[in-house]
Amino acid sequence: MRKTITPLLFCFFAFSAARAQLTAPEKKAIAYINDHMDAAMQLLINSVNINSGTLNIAGVRKVGDLYAKELEKLGFIIEWVAEPDSLRRAGHLVATHKGKKGKKLFLIGHLDTVFEPDMPAGPYTVLNDSTATGQGVNDMKGGDVVMIAALQALQAAGQLKDMNIVAYFTGDEERSGFPHSVARKDFIERAKTCDIALGFESAMGLHTVAAARRGIGDWSLDVTARTGHSSQVFTDSAGFGAIYEAARILNTFREQLSHEQYLTFNPGLIVGGSGIKLSDQDARGEALGKTNIISPAAHVTGDLRFLSEAQKNAVREKMKTIVATSLPGTHASISFTDGLPAMEPTAGNLALVSQLDKVTRDMAIGETVAGDPGARGAGDISDIAQYMDCLDGLGASGKGAHRAGETIHLKEYPLLIQRAAVFIYRLTR
Ligand SMILES: [Zn+2]
């Protein structure tokens, strides 16, 4: 009776064949994770229940101390990297493990959340058998604990001792100290000593990972115009006024550029009229405008998100061209500022996706593909992506990051820790 194979038997064979793809140390690490999920969950709960809004310096350091204690037990050397006082930020936790061989990994987490102490407290709360909520449970204390629990499992499997790892937890990812280049100086320098960077920001389900993240910058549009009595608007002598010109420019941006893939730009503030006063500090503007006066000035600020430096530069040129074709009686200029560079979908990053895909197939939990870069903003990894191969989105899955009530998917969580452990193991072979 060898002609047919029942679906159930087939599943069994497929499953055991897949499991057989894992080596003995990988199986040992996975078993350790399954046996120690309570401890991992307790570490997550303890860290979520400490408020660590970026500006709550004591809270950010407390979360750092909690993680440092766990990493110290694994033989990591712990350092606290201070930021200059003028930045008014907590600083960063850096844990280094020196081994004899293999590639050097740069593992990225962050200690802060968007929730400052004056916002409603969100302690860890289980909502149902597959969901829990709490401040930073998804972004990204869940991811920090994925990293730590994976390293604990690798140590238990006897595999950590030879690994070269820098685990870097920034203290101000959600609201970087200014200037950003100072806030990330040490981060970038240390990353450059490594071969591969892995970010543990939120996972989007079990089957994707981020091979690219969009970069971000700002733009600022200033329009001036001849002013006069409104009854003369549209005439050659009076012209169109600054508000019509700003509206023309924005509408042309939208018409010509809004369909480009991975490109977005959003005007966040517009002020027009006369006597314009602007405060960049708190993103505010004031103006006086009478309906019978042709507006002499307008000001607009917005962001710009892009997938590559080439896309950024090309779109800036197109925007300048649109700005330059002024309506009669008006003049406009646009300026751009750099924020975070893009993490581009390089061949090296995509090769890492293939390696992770092999991991999850070998674990018999299905494929892993590169997620949609348009679905994410920039993150810490963006600062260093130009120097090495990297992947992000290796953290906890769930929903609603940056909103009260963000969640973690509890059933996927052990599998994501296992995925991280096996991936780190293979990358360091
Ligand atoms: Zn984050």
**Domain 215-340, CATH class in plain words:** alpha beta
Are domains 8-213+343-427 and 215-340 of this chain identical in fold? no
Tell how far the Cα of 404 is from the centroid of ligand 1, in angstroms: 14
pLDDT of residue 5: 41
Which regions of 3-161 does DSSP assign to beta strands (E)? 77-81, 92-97, 104-110, 125-128, 131-133
Which sequence spans correspond to the domains of the chain? 8-213+343-427, 215-340
Q: What does the pLDDT average to over 399-424?
A: 95
Q: What is the pTM of this model?
A: 0.87
Tell how far the Cα of 187 is from the centroid of ligand 1, in angstroms: 16
As a whole number, the mean pLDDT across the chain is 93
Q: What does the pLDDT average to over 52-77?
A: 98
Tell how far the Cα of 219 is from the centroid of ligand 1, in angstroms: 24
Tell how far the Cα of 235 is from the centroid of ligand 1, in angstroms: 53
Neighbours of ion ligand 1 (CB under 5 A): 139-140, 201
pLDDT of residue 20: 56
Q: What's the sign of the alpha-carbon dihedral 50, 52, 58, 61?
A: positive
Tell how far the Cα of 397 is from the centroid of ligand 1, in angstroms: 12
Tell how far the Cα of 111 is from the centroid of ligand 1, in angstroms: 9
Tell how far the Cα of 47 is from the centroid of ligand 1, in angstroms: 15
- DSSP class of residue 115 equals -
Tell how far the Cα of 295 is from the centroid of ligand 1, in angstroms: 42
Tell how far the Cα of 114 is from the centroid of ligand 1, in angstroms: 9
DSSP 154-221: HHHTT-STT-EEEEEEES-SSS--SSHHHHTHHHHHHHTT-SEEEE-SPB-SSSEEBS-B-EEEEEEE
Taking only the tens place, the pLDDT of each residue in 362-376 is 999 999 999 998 888
Tell how far the Cα of 138 is from the centroid of ligand 1, in angstroms: 8
Q: What does the pLDDT average to over 168-173?
A: 97
Q: What does the pLDDT average to over 82-99?
A: 97
CA distance 371 to 213: 10
Q: What's the sign of the alpha-carbon dihedral 205, 210, 211, 217?
A: positive
Tell how far the Cα of 351 is from the centroid of ligand 1, in angstroms: 24
**Domain 8-213+343-427, CATH class in plain words:** alpha beta
